[in-house]
Structure 1
Amino acid sequence: MEKEATRDIIPHLVSIGPNHYGNPKFSDMETQKTELLDLESREWNSQKASSLTNALLELEEKTRKCYPHSFNHMDGNAFVRMMLTDAFFLINLFTDYPKFRKGEELPNRCIFRTRWMLPYICEDLLMLENQVPFFILAKVYVVLTDNESADCLKKLALQFFKQVPLIGKVAESCRSPENPKHLLDLFHSSFVNQIDRGKHSPSSSSHKMGTKFWVDNASTLRSKGVTFIARDREARLPLDIEFSWLGLLRIPTFYMDERIVRVLKNLLAYEQGSRQVKPYFSCVAVFFSNIATTKRDVKFLREAGIIQHQLQVLYEAVEFSSDQDCLLKCEVERINRYAASVPGKFISYVKRILLPKFVPFVLLFVTLFLSLSPADTLKPFKIRA
């Protein structure tokens, strides 16, 4: 258990900030980050270079206070150099990612040359102990872009984090917070800020519950007439859960694998560590721990399309850079069109509902026909010579 817990807080490939700085495990990526900064800084004029250095020196004391440890073993120059290297790496990563998705060539960008690396880096950047203050990123971005708004950086970062498919359909636009603490807070707040306050906030007239908002498990709810429906198309957020007076419970489809679980654990740790952070994903976790208490519940939720477990052994080793990488794209699209079409749904209904009820009548008819037919009609048919 201790080893598994360690996997959830230690990055795979890249160290950001002082917590894992100097770990030889990340030496290859540290070399790439340093080379990137050295290469790009050759094109800076002296004014831009001095502006960056002076700005980070002024923010050094404020930055150190953001961490629970003092990191006294790092002097001012080393600390500022680390922050600049990490900030420059992240800004270039976020600005280059849209170009990569469009298929543009990115020289001197090794991390875009392999399919498996980007998802792991994306996961690393959402680990709670692998963060730098966002005001550092914002300051470096403003200087590098000649006073362009840091809101652009937020949008680029959120575009990059769409690689984490917490639900089937990720929102195309997110309302980012004004002053995020770090990248994990930015990602977390992009969900919280989209909550419809009137819809998700508790009613003032509702009676007080004796429990912590517990509900029965899926099997019990089904026995009481509740119908579960997967919102795999229209849902945009994990908390887009709706219950109607007809007994229809609509829940977004969750795609679960080891990477997503690790991201969720870091989000939960972030929420539980501060009362100032809204417990968005804590609510999601409690709700699913209610309705999926047994293997039978999980099996039903999977059959209903609410929980999607992906093939760990094969899927974890495969990444697609773009839609064009899928060589079965045409057939997959045909399958999905058929499954969503009216003829497809009608044929499915016939197979699942009508055909099983019709087969017994056919068997009964055949049995009656054989039992009531004259014996001569059942004799073997012979061809006359």
Structure 2
Amino acid sequence: MVLFSDGQSVSTINRSSRRFVHRVINIHRFPEITRRDKGQNSQYHEETCSVSGKIEVNPREIREQWVILIKDKMEKALKDVTTSSWDKLCIYRVPHYLQENDKKSYFPQTVSLGPYHHGNKHLLPMECHKWRAVNMVLKRTELGIEIYMDAMKELEEMARACYQGPIEMSNYEFTEMLVLDGCFVLELFKGTIDGFQEIGYAPNDPVFATRGLMHSIQRDMVMLENQLPLFVLDRLLELQLGTQYQIGLVAQLAVQFFDPLMPTGEELTKKNKLKSKLKSVCSPSDNGESHCLDVFHRSLFSTPNPKSPTYISSRKQQLIHCVTELREAGIKFRRKETDQLWDIEFKKGYLKIPKLLIHDGTKSLFSNLIAFEQCHIHSSNNITSYILFMDNLINSAEDVSYLHHCGIIEHWLGSDSEVADLFNRLCKEVIFDPKDSYLSQLSGEVNRYYSRKWNSLKATLRHKYFNNPWAYFSFSAAVILLFLTFSQSFYAVYAYYRPSS
């Protein structure tokens, strides 16, 4: 028996142990004890507490309650795992190692979509505008709100499975959120394509207009933690359009809605460009589920490159040398005329890269695309490969300045150093295997060209001695003069040893 009394057994056990004992024997912490009948509880209390104020604890009782506590934790963990479907999982919490130094890029500033940021205080002003969108949809479709609620109720379980971790929302709250956020997104899509005034909104509307908050809303809607499953939007649009609904229409609307965020700098003015992007996003994703960020990701890379789960190191790898070093090795840079961001080419000493447009939302966009690739097993790693490639190319403001001179980079930031800092930070904590990059073969070709000494010698001669047209004229004149001098000397010596007869 272990005895606790005032001043008698204090030396045999420390304070933390006494807290543990009291916590273990506390009846209200263990439902199993409270379920005992009243007589057993009374008997248990008499065995553990004496009238003199001393607490007598039975080690066997402590061990039994401890085992019960462990089993409860094991059962809870098993229940949490079995109730979630990893096959449908596609909307993730951003890993802490990515958001540690830059939380603003991953958290919405204007509007919340989905359960992760629902109810945040700074996002509440947008809720009234969501209800305005619902009222407009009901007025236009002449359907009751119960029709939409019932449709979302049928999709609730599947929608919950798309989110990582348990969602602390009741069935009613979650269903209401799907209707509210889904109608809001569809109104933005429809208004952007058809015109907000044409679908019933005022020209000076603070939200449903092509100006004002629209850019901030678009930026929030491509954040990984701020997504709705695509099948939810499909079902809501099907209710609105009825027989006019077509499969894949939501993906098409999303591509056109997010066009201003495209980092290629090429607008979708030509039908063939639009068709090529829509073709890459209208097919269902590998696991049958998707969202707007996934649609945007696939629109950037029309040729999917699914990654295989392999062990990779978190140590930063070097794919290619920076622009300054490559120029010293004789490699030239040119802008490639294409709207495909990934289409980088190296041929005969020329590295051709498509134009990249960098604006104030580019950092958040690339950060969330990288986070999605880091989390989603069915996604390719093309964005991460591209960003890491550009990060290796850009080490300083001078590198950015030269790429800007070549027409490869156009930015709206304050200085070239800010662009360099942006790329150097994007992949700082990213786990990535360079061998799994779609640019690994091209990088190997560039590195082999770089390692040839003759290429470096030619580049050095060109940069130091032939960096202007007058240098070529001077060199040519010197060669001609040297040849004439040599000829004159030769004939003088020849005439001396072979005089004319």
Same fold flag (TM > 0.5): yes
- Deviations along 1:95-145, one digit per CA (max 9) or x if unpaired, are 1102339x8585255324472411111111100000011111111111111
- CA distance in 2 between partners of 1:114 and 1:25 (Å): 23
Aligned partner of residue 343 in structure 2, secondary structure: coil
How does 1:131-142 map onto structure 2 within 5 Å?
131-142=227-238
Corresponding residue for residue 7 of structure 1 = 104
Gaps of 5+ in 1: 202-210, 314-352, 362-385
Is residue 286 of structure 1 aligned with residue 388 of structure 2? yes
Distance apart, 1:82 and its partner CA: 0.8
The answer on whether the counterparts of 1:11 and 1:124 sit within 8 Å (CA) in structure 2 is yes
Is residue 236 of structure 1 aligned with residue 339 of structure 2? yes
| Cα pair distance change 1:299/1:143, threshold 3 Å | same
- Of structures 1 and 2, the one with the larger relative CO (CA 8 A, separation 6+) is 1
| Cα pair distance change 1:230/1:185, threshold 3 Å | same
Corresponding residue for residue 163 of structure 1 = 260
Report the residue type matching 1:182 in the other structure: H
Aligned partner of residue 52 in structure 1, secondary structure: helix
Distance apart, 1:33 and its partner CA: 0.5
Distance apart, 1:86 and its partner CA: 0.7
- Deviations along 1:307-335, one digit per CA (max 9) or x if unpaired, are 2221449xxxxxxxxxxxxxxxxxxxxxx
Residue of 72, 84, 107 corresponding to 2:201: 107
Residue of 345, 351, 355 corresponding to 1:249: 351
Residue of 181, 195, 205 corresponding to 2:303: 195
- Deviations along 1:267-297, one digit per CA (max 9) or x if unpaired, are 0010011232101111111111221123432
Is residue 34 of structure 1 aligned with residue 146 of structure 2? no
Aligned partner of residue 108 in structure 2, secondary structure: coil
Report the residue type matching 1:154 in the other structure: A
The answer on whether the counterparts of 1:226 and 1:247 sit within 8 Å (CA) in structure 2 is yes
The answer on whether the counterparts of 1:111 and 1:118 sit within 8 Å (CA) in structure 2 is yes
- CA distance in 2 between partners of 1:164 and 1:83 (Å): 25
The answer on whether the counterparts of 2:133 and 2:187 sit within 8 Å (CA) in structure 1 is no
Corresponding residue for residue 130 of structure 1 = 226
Aligned partner of residue 13 in structure 1, secondary structure: coil
Residue of 16, 31, 53 corresponding to 2:113: 16
Report the residue type matching 2:293 in the other structure: L
Report the residue type matching 2:395 in the other structure: T
Residue of 314, 320, 323 corresponding to 1:218: 323
How does 1:174-185 map onto structure 2 within 5 Å?
174=277, 175=279, 176-180=281-285, 181-185=290-294
Aligned partner of residue 126 in structure 1, secondary structure: coil
| Cα pair distance change 1:51/1:43, threshold 3 Å | same
Provide the alpha-carbon RMSD of the alignment.
Answer: 3.2
- CA distance in 2 between partners of 1:20 and 1:177 (Å): 28
The answer on whether the counterparts of 2:99 and 2:106 sit within 8 Å (CA) in structure 1 is no
- CA distance in 2 between partners of 1:135 and 1:153 (Å): 9
Distance apart, 1:69 and its partner CA: 3.2
Residue of 62, 65, 76 corresponding to 2:158: 62
| Cα pair distance change 1:157/1:196, threshold 3 Å | closer
The answer on whether the counterparts of 1:177 and 1:189 sit within 8 Å (CA) in structure 2 is no
Percentage of identical aligned residues? 27
Aligned partner of residue 81 in structure 1, secondary structure: helix
- TM-score of the two chains, using structure 1 as the length reference: 0.70
The answer on whether the counterparts of 1:60 and 1:80 sit within 8 Å (CA) in structure 2 is yes
Report the residue type matching 1:195 in the other structure: T
| Cα pair distance change 1:354/1:223, threshold 3 Å | closer
Report the residue type matching 2:176 in the other structure: R
Distance apart, 1:222 and its partner CA: 1.5
- CA distance in 2 between partners of 1:106 and 1:247 (Å): 57
Distance apart, 1:357 and its partner CA: 4.4
Is residue 80 of structure 1 aligned with residue 169 of structure 2? no
Gaps of 5+ in 2: 1-97, 268-272, 308-315, 416-465, 475-501
Larger Rg: 2
The answer on whether the counterparts of 2:192 and 2:210 sit within 8 Å (CA) in structure 1 is no
Distance apart, 1:258 and its partner CA: 2.8
The answer on whether the counterparts of 2:191 and 2:208 sit within 8 Å (CA) in structure 1 is no
- Deviations along 1:249-272, one digit per CA (max 9) or x if unpaired, are 110121113311110000001001
The answer on whether the counterparts of 1:141 and 1:150 sit within 8 Å (CA) in structure 2 is no
| Cα pair distance change 1:279/1:229, threshold 3 Å | same
- CA distance in 1 between partners of 2:389 and 2:293 (Å): 22
- TM-score of the two chains, using structure 2 as the length reference: 0.55
- Deviations along 1:36-92, one digit per CA (max 9) or x if unpaired, are 21343245455x6444222211111111122123223x2212211110011111111
| Aligned pairs, number | 303
The answer on whether the counterparts of 1:230 and 1:251 sit within 8 Å (CA) in structure 2 is yes
The answer on whether the counterparts of 1:257 and 1:312 sit within 8 Å (CA) in structure 2 is no
Report the residue type matching 1:296 in the other structure: E
Report the residue type matching 2:152 in the other structure: L
Corresponding residue for residue 362 of structure 2 = 260
- CA distance in 2 between partners of 1:6 and 1:13 (Å): 15
Aligned partner of residue 251 in structure 1, secondary structure: strand
Corresponding residue for residue 227 of structure 1 = 332
The answer on whether the counterparts of 2:188 and 2:208 sit within 8 Å (CA) in structure 1 is no
| Cα pair distance change 1:44/1:100, threshold 3 Å | closer
User: In terms of mean alpha carbon deviation, does 17-26 or 174-183 score higher?
Assistant: 174-183
